[in-house]
Amino acid sequence: MPVITLPDGSQRRFDQPVTVDEVAGSIGPGLRKAALAGRLNGKLVDTSHLIASDASLAIVTDRDAEGLEIIRHSTAHLLAQAVKELFPEAQVTIGPVIEDGFYYDFAFKRPFTPEDLAAIEARMTELAQADQAVSRRVMPRDEAVKFFRSMGEIYKAEIIAGIPDKEQISLYGQGSWVDLCRGPHVPSTGKLKAFKLTKVAGAYWRGDSRNEMLQRIYGTAWPDKKQLDAYLHRLEEAEKRDHRRIGKELDLFHLQEEAPGAVFWHPKGWTLFQTLIAYMRERQQAAGYEEVNAPELMDATLWEQSGHMEKFGENMYLTRTPDERLYAIKPMNCPGHVQIFKHGLRSYRELPVRFAEFGKVHRYEPSGALHGLMRVRAFTQDDGHVFVTEDQITAESVAITKLILDIYRDFGFEQAAIKYADRPAKRVGDDSIWDRAESALRAASAAAGIEYSLNKGEGAFYGPKLEFVLRDAIGRDWQCGTLQVDLNMPERLGAYYIDEHSAKRTPVMLHRAMFGSLERFLAILLEHHAGRLPAWLSPVQVVVMSITDRQTEYVGRLTEILRNQGFRVDTDLRNEKVGFKIREHTLKRVPYLLVAGDKEVAANTISVRTRGGKDLGSMVPETFAERLRVELESRGRKTLEG
């Protein structure tokens, strides 16, 4: 008879086989009510699962990450059930859990409308309130194929037909609705209390553009209404902060069909872009990096030698010249930096050699994946490669990590989560090389005093990496910087240095990026700050405006003085009311608004306002300039407001 060991080490004995639900009930009625599933010997199972032998068991509730995933998966089934009841001719395909929610793909004769979504969500609510029991049964594969074909569900039948014929197929039912699924699921639909359908989009069957187009209904689900409302508020806030909207409002950039995935930078946007580069250039020079530049177009044989063509070729742009030579537009900067390192004899005394480049790279992304500045096909990396001996890996990695975290603080990100990504399935190099690289990166992480979570199997194809994840003002996480230890590519490309015994040795190459993609980092900044960038970053830091034509000369003189001191200044001499001007430039998120009237001209002062609406009073131009200079030099840690 089973002995059940609980997470705290305590044991419960039963004189007959027992379900997960009954074990939860033996612990307490509250836990039984909250139970969504069980983790039996490390595997998730339904609460109805029967335990007949000794086992370890943890009860899964909505407080667990697995519990939230089960809620979302079960809500996807609830969506499919509601669609089939309202639109019997619709066919169901797949409905997985995604970040913050779920989706389900349907084949239907006409597009779903917003009114349809409202009706579907209302029916889902009715089904949840009906508290229908969810049951599981198992079928042989061929029988399951016949079962779904008999229901007219040809997509489900096709999915099952692709499963090995010896496998058992699990089906889940609730009410009259039955679906294919591995499970587990909530015990009953009454556990699904807080959900919302968010949008409809197109999706190809099995993700292949050669297949028919389906309709994908997206939704979100949470343990309770409070968490759902908080998420919907974040969505609303994210829409307000959308960098594409802000970019248009501030006249920073645009994208158009003639250049998909590439950015047309407007003057103010390019000023912001160059400000990022100037900042990073200063930090890199201070850290001992030398800036280089490698060609964007190189012979394809180089990319074959590096391993990129095999592992990354489908995302590369290739072109063949009239003489039949095949070239690739670089998707990465690392092979070019190896060529620069190789040009001339290198001694161990020169190492570490630190190269940095603001390199333009091109990678093919499906058109459906493109998203403003966040996901593009042409972008600029703040790429760096450091060539070191194995003995230097730890010290150099610690320095890189500290530099990355300090840079993020300058942009308003006080903390960054760090993930350690180990060897992927698709990689170059043998396991012994990967063992050394992974061990070196773990040792460097320990020396840097950083804590990390494991992102298993997500390393680069040439080496393990640390991923630096920023959390923005509304709680979203963005992976930006990386640090990678590479013992493969330098050897593949023939890089070497002369050691202290006059022997050739292959260097270790540390790949590092801090912004990652400048375009993407700029988008993150715009959304994090809702367009209200710190003054040191703002494309326009100051607008000087007149009240009447009588101040034109004074405004011009003041503007020239400020520009000569390096400030980014615009003027507004339009024949408009000053209140209108202030409002317009406030909406454009200009940090400081200077107003000159007759009184200011007579006293040689200026009236200073902030974009937040605070009146800082009158001050002489020299005082304003000095206080602004202090703010810019402190990266916004000090402001004119104190």
> Please, which pLDDT band fits residue 642 given cuts at 50, 70 and 90?
low
Q: What is the pLDDT of residues 381-438, one digit of tens each?
A: 999 999 999 899 999 999 999 999 999 999 989 878 999 988 888 888 888 888 888 8
Shared fold status for 255-528 and 542-633: no
pLDDT of residue 154: 86
In Å, what is the CA distance from 259 to each residue of 214, 367, 377, 591?
A: 27, 11, 9, 33
Percent of the chain with pLDDT over 70: 100
Pair 99, 89: CB distance under 8 Å: no
Average pLDDT rounded to a whole number, residues 278-297: 95
Cα–Cα distance for residue pair 479/187, rounded to 1 Å = 36
Between vectors from CA 482 to CA 480 and to CA 486, what angle results, nearest 5°? Answer: 160
In Å, what is the CA distance from 318 to each residue of 370, 378, 421?
A: 20, 14, 30
Which CATH class name applies to 255-528? alpha beta
Q: What is the pLDDT of residues 461-480, one digit of tens each?
A: 888 899 999 998 888 889 99
Architecture category of domain 3-60 in CATH: Roll (3.10)
- CATH topology for 542-633? Rossmann fold (3.40.50)
Helix or strand holding residue 86 (H, E): helix 65-86
Question: Is 636's pLDDT higher than 80?
Answer: no
Q: Which residues contact 81 (CB under 8 A, 6 or more apart)?
A: 124, 127, 174, 175, 177, 179
Q: How many CA atoms lie within 13 A of 464 on its CB side?
A: 25
> Please, which pLDDT band fits residue 50 given cuts at 50, 70 and 90?
very high
Question: Is 208's pLDDT higher than 80?
Answer: no
Cα–Cα distance for residue pair 537/529, rounded to 1 Å = 11
pLDDT of residue 453: 86
Average pLDDT rounded to a whole number, residues 40-67: 93
Catalytic site residues? Answer: 334, 363, 381, 383, 385, 465, 511
Under DSSP, the state recorded for 488 is S
pLDDT of residue 156: 86
Q: Cβ atoms within 10 A of the Cβ of 69, count?
A: 18
> Please, which pLDDT band fits residue 152 given cuts at 50, 70 and 90?
confident
Q: Cβ atoms within 10 A of the Cβ of 7, count?
A: 10
Pair 608, 618: CB distance under 8 Å: yes
633-638 long-range CB contacts below 8 Å, 24 or more apart? 635/410, 635/534, 635/536, 636/412, 636/534, 636/535, 636/536
Cα–Cα distance for residue pair 302/109, rounded to 1 Å = 50
Superfamily of 65-239 according to CATH: Threonyl-trna Synthetase; Chain A, domain 2 (3.30.980.10)
pTM over 0.85: no
Pair 180, 139: CB distance under 8 Å: no
Pair 234, 261: CB distance under 8 Å: no
Collapse the DSSP code of 44 into the 3-class scheme (helix H, G, I; strand E, B; otherwise coil) and give the result: strand
pLDDT of residue 448: 84
Cα–Cα distance for residue pair 119/354, rounded to 1 Å = 60
Buried b (16+ CB within 10 A) or exposed e, 384-416: bbbbbbeebbbebbbbbbebbbebbebbbbeeb
Question: Is 542's pLDDT higher than 70?
Answer: yes
Structure tokens at 610: 């902030």
Pair 590, 543: CB distance under 8 Å: yes
Q: Which residues contact 287 (CB under 8 A, 6 or more apart)?
A: 354, 399, 403
Question: Is 1's pLDDT higher than 70?
Answer: yes
Beta strands 3-5 and 55-60 are: parallel
Pair 228, 222: CB distance under 8 Å: yes
- What helix, strand, coil percent values describe the chain, rounded to 5? 40, 30, 35
Question: Is 624's pLDDT higher than 90?
Answer: yes
Collapse the DSSP code of 173 into the 3-class scheme (helix H, G, I; strand E, B; otherwise coil) and give the result: strand
- Looking at the DSSP bridge assignments, the partners of residue 562 are none
Q: Cβ atoms within 10 A of the Cβ of 641, count?
A: 11
Q: What backbone torsions phi and psi does residue 281 show, to the nearest 5 degrees?
A: -60, -45
pLDDT of residue 369: 84
Every domain of the chain and the residues it spans = 3-60, 65-239, 255-528, 542-633
Question: Is 571's pLDDT higher than 90?
Answer: yes
Q: What is the pLDDT of residues 96-147, one digit of tens each?
A: 999 899 999 999 999 999 999 999 999 999 999 999 999 999 888 888 888 8
Buried b (16+ CB within 10 A) or exposed e, 22-41: bbbbeeeeeebebbbbbbbe
pLDDT of residue 437: 86
Of 31-35, 69-73, 178-182, 494-498, the least confident: 178-182
Q: What is the mean pLDDT of the chain?
A: 92
525-529 long-range CB contacts below 8 Å, 24 or more apart? 525/411, 526/241, 526/243, 526/246, 526/247, 526/252, 527/238, 527/241, 527/242, 527/243, 527/246, 527/472, 528/241, 528/412, 528/413, 528/472, 528/473, 529/412, 529/473
In Å, what is the CA distance from 296 to each residue of 77, 299, 354, 357?
A: 48, 10, 20, 12
Q: What is the pLDDT of residues 60-76, one digit of tens each?
A: 999 999 999 999 999 99
